[in-house]
Structure 1
Amino acid sequence: MKIYKTILLTAAVVFTTACQSKVKEQKTETTVKKEMAEAVKPTQEDLSNYETAYFASGCFWCVEAIFESVKGIPEVVSGYAGGTEDNPTYEQVGRGLTSHAEAVKVYYDPEVISFTALVQVFFGSHDPTTLNRQGPDRGPQYRSVAFYKNEEEKKIIEGYIQALKDQNVYDGDPITTQVVPFTKFYDAEDYHQDYEKKHPNNSYITNVSIPRLNRFKKNFGEYLKEKIH
């Protein structure tokens, strides 16, 4: 596993997603379902008071869980973006039959976390040098994409990428992340939302998603809703 120093506003480490780490403790399905039932999900009216940002960096189960662990983010929605086809389905996107990527819609409070910080979270939680691949997931539907809604967001993303290059964070490996204007986001099917929380014993979740989330938490403690000291 490669380890790289980042140039974040706060110190952190960028990890590739090629290896897995041991999960010390697993919650039971019953415990998780109880917690899910007790959790209060924000309403659409509540979410209308937040800003939105869009990213793609591999399986949206993983990406959703990572962003939902970050302070100032009340909700993350898994879905599809970056393509031209209307109303794509999981089967179509997963089989590479569309031009869409698995993506997430991030609701965030800019008074708590900035768009720049979201970009740092994005790059710090996946390997942007693996073209059309993230960990075991391969194909353009798993490509790395940072979407921008205006010129200021584009400037922030491109500036951060240039800083990563200037600091040679990836040892000369080219950054393959697409920086493209946001057009439309399609929500994924209901059963994909909060998938990691609902299915902690799923083999993909235990072997890929949770280790990826734990690596992120270990190195971005200051960004978490529950800080790790």
Structure 2
Amino acid sequence: MLGELQELFREFEDDDDVRVVVLRSEGPVFSSGHDLNEMIDRDAEAYTAVFALCTEVMEAIRLLPKPVIAQVQGLATAAGCQLVATCDLAVAAESAAFATPGVQIGLFCTTPGVALARSVATTKKAMEMLLTGTPVSASEALEIGLINRVVPDGELDANVAALARQIASASAQTLAVGKPAFYRQIELDRPAAYDMAQKVMVDNLLKEDAYEGITAFLHKRDPEWKY
């Protein structure tokens, strides 16, 4: 599964027809994380390969110049919760839940904690989830910043589709500038972030779709994006 996801993200990056990616699943579970059968009676090399591939997939989501939305209809646990935290946006059904329960089986969710700590509002809440493994409801996940929206179960598909269409209506060129810059600047101190951001803004202004978008606004017409 991880290998297939990695390959798909490679394809999406080069496919101009793909403007927004939605990660969804079917059934009562969005993702239960790693197959525990792969986490027992293996050597360090095998374990390293699994976690390395997982990290590559998570980074592929962050580095993809196209927005990725997690559509969560059920339980997202361990690396499944990591997946939600890694996506650019996340919309969950009211019945969804989120947990990092590895501590309960003797395997602390250290790699999921990387994305979790960078997604939720406070380190204390991230630590609570990691130390207890207690599931967090969709409403609480919204409150702590793990997800963007909570919608009734029956409206999840339509809500995510509408959000994806809204994002896809923007210039793909502009999104490809903005998403990577956002993730770069949040890792910098404020002066360095502003220094980087202003350079990105200049580069953005020199691109075709910025010229088209500003011209269309000034002339009170809809833009016709080149990208």
Question: For this structure pair, what is the TM-score category when the shorter chain's length is used for normalisation?
Answer: under 0.3
User: Which structure is higher in helix share?
Assistant: 2
- The structure whose residues are more often strand, as a share, is 1
TM-score normalised by the chain length of structure 1: 0.25
- With normalisation by structure 2, the TM-score equals 0.25
